[in-house]
Amino acid sequence: MTRPDRKPARLVLEDGTVLRGRSFGAARETIGELVFNTSITGYQEILTDPSYRGQTVLLTQPHIGNYGVNGEDEESGKVWLSGLICREAAWRASNFRAVTELSDYLVQHDVPGIERVDTRMLTRRVRDAGALKVLLTEDMDTSDELLVERVRQAPSISAEDHVLQVTTPRILEWTKGHESPFATASPGAVTADTTDFRRFRIVAYDFGAKRNILRSLVASGFDVTVVPADTPAEAVLERQPDGVFLSNGPGDPALLDYAIKSVKGFVDKVPVFGICLGHQILSQVFGAKTFKMKFGHHGGNQPVMDLLTQKVEITSQNHSFAVDPEKLPDSVEVTHVNLNDKTVEGIRHKELPVFSIQYHPEAAPGPHDSLYLFDRFRELIEGVRCS
């Protein structure tokens, strides 16, 4: 097999930076918000995470695509990010699980990529200047100045409600647990040998849920009904669920008035567990505010302390917004903090059976330090049912 001849391409930042590299994936132009992800593996999970809608992802791991792409590792049925940036995109995969090549996979989903650019410099630029709009293009004729102006005139992704673009269009029952032999289950996961075990019925709001979240819920003993993001509280309560789960998702949580209204309608009536965007929505329900971070947390190596146990977890995170700790009401306490920047990573209500965390406990492909949180949700429901 001969190496493909990849076309020249340009990467253009709104601050005027222009880099030249080589294109791979779909041959089209795109503008997104540039964020960097520090994960070493899991590029397919990143590509198919709905939380990345509107963003162009730079992977700091220099060699991407070497183990190819397969059907088991998809976190949704679509590649959601606007574009992919890496130092070197493998042209040929070498792994027994590979079904197709990374570039071909991006072509199938109409997403462009660029390689052979200085990803270290770009990472430092985002770290120092904050998230920037970025253009990927194979247009080598238009002047750099005109391309920079095109990026500057593009709307901010924060101004759009991305959740309604990624949520499920209909109510569905999710019944699949961990399907892959490479998956890691939570300590309290249900097996065929589990006896004297009661399953609980929960409603899961899909704000952009990853499949492994739903798998983890099923494996932890929940019967899961997935509902669209704009489902009213009345429709949820009619189902008489044992609990409600609020998923991850993309964009600015302050735009989601419909979600905040819905959660207000049941937060004092049923146990609730939220993660990522669900955590931010829940915080606003209690009166807190969220803010846009300088460059967010994106990667699988964020250290978080559980203040309830004093244990440190290495966590998977993907968010550009955070909860303002100064605006949390007295009825809510902080349960988890980020050890790098001290941002709020978890809260719980002091009286209601409600808690949330900012990161991803399902963490496909890993780490798996936080899988215990699904068991904590089950224990919360059991406590309510037994009281």
pLDDT above 60 (res 184): no
In a domain, 1, yes or no: no
Give the model confidence (pLDDT) of 295-334 as tens digits: 999 999 999 999 999 999 999 999 999 999 999 999 999 9
On whether residue 338 sits in a domain, the answer given is: yes
Residues 124 and 257 in one domain: no
DSSP symbols for 297-353: EEEEEEEEEETTTTEEEEEEEEEEEEE-GGG--TTEEEEEEETTT--EEEEEESSSS
Does one domain contain both 250 and 304? yes
Domain with residue 127: its CATH number is 3.50.30.20
Query: Residue 186 has what pLDDT?
Result: 53
Alpha-carbon distances of 119 from 4, 239, 378, 382, rounded to whole Å: 22, 49, 42, 48
Told to judge if 72 belongs to the known catalytic residues of this protein, a careful annotator would answer no
Q: What pLDDT does residue 329 have?
A: 94
DSSP class of residue 244? E
Q: 138: closest CA among 252, 58, 222, 21?
A: 21
> Residue 333 forms beta bridges with which residues?
348
Q: Residues 303, 223: one domain?
A: yes
Answer yes or no: is 2 within a domain.
no
Cis peptide before 365 (omega within 30 of 0): yes
Residues 359 and 320 occupy one common structural domain:
yes
- Statement to judge: residues 109 and 246 lie in one domain: no
Q: What's the distance, CA 158 to chain centroid?
A: 16
pLDDT at 188 over 80: no
Q: Half-sphere exposure of 379 toward its Cβ, with a 13 Å CA cutoff?
A: 9
Can you give the CATH number for the domain in which 203 is found? 3.40.50.880
Quick one: 127 and 170 in the same domain?
A: no
Do 233 and 140 share a structural domain? no
The span from the first CA to the last CA of the chain, in angstroms, equals 66
* Amino acid in the structure at residue 7: K
Could you tell me the pLDDT band of residue 193, with boundaries at 50, 70 and 90?
very low
**Which residues are 244's β-sheet partners?**
203, 272
Radius of gyration from C-alpha coordinates of the chain: 21
Q: Which residues have CB under 8 Å from 146's CB, separation 6+? A: none
User: In this predicted model, what pLDDT tens digit does every residue of 217-261 receive, in sequence order?
Assistant: 999 999 999 999 999 999 999 999 999 999 999 999 999 999 999
Share of the chain above pLDDT 70, in %: 94
Provide the number of structural domains found in the chain.
Answer: 2
In sequence order, the β-bridge partners of residue 32 are 134
Does the residue 3 lie in any domain? no
Give yes or no for a contact between 26 and 111, defined as CB atoms under 8 angstroms apart. yes
Where a domain ends, among 157, 175, 195? 157
Q: Could you tell me if 63 and 33 lie in one domain?
A: yes
14 and 49 within one domain: yes
Question: Is 125 part of a structural domain of the chain?
Answer: yes
35 vs 181 pLDDT, higher one: 35
Do 228 and 117 sit in the same domain of this protein?
no
**Is the pLDDT reported for residue 358 higher than 80?**
yes
**Residue 76 falls inside a structural domain:** yes
Residue 271: inside a domain, yes or no? yes
Domain range for 61 is 8-157
Q: What is the pTM of this model?
A: 0.94
pLDDT surpassing 80 at residue 183: no
One domain for residues 61 and 170: no
Cis peptide before 4 (omega within 30 of 0): no
H or E, element range at 266: helix 257-266
Q: Express as a percent the part of the chain with pLDDT over 90.
A: 88
Q: Among 141, 157, 173, which residue terminates a domain? A: 157
Pairing of strands 243-246, 222-228: unpaired
- Annotation marks residue 362 as catalytic: yes
Tell me which of 178, 297, 360, 368 is the catalytic residue.
360
Amino acid found at 336? H
Number of C-alpha atoms within 13 angstroms, CB side, residue 206? 25
Higher pLDDT, 269 or 185: 269
Q: Which of 157, 173, 207 is the last residue of a domain?
A: 157
Establish if 99 belongs to a structural domain.
yes
Q: What is the mean pLDDT of the chain?
A: 93
Chain centroid, CA 37 distance in Å? 11
Which distant-in-sequence residues (6+ apart) come within 8 Å of 257 by Cβ? none
Say which of 101, 345, 362, 368 is annotated catalytic.
362
Which pLDDT value is given to residue 110? 98
Query: In the prediction, which pLDDT does 48 show?
Result: 97
Q: Is 360 a catalytic residue?
A: yes
| Average pLDDT of the segment spanning 111-119 | 98
One domain, residues 87 and 195: no
Maximum distance among all alpha carbons in the chain? 70
Catalytic hit among 45, 276, 336, 368: 276
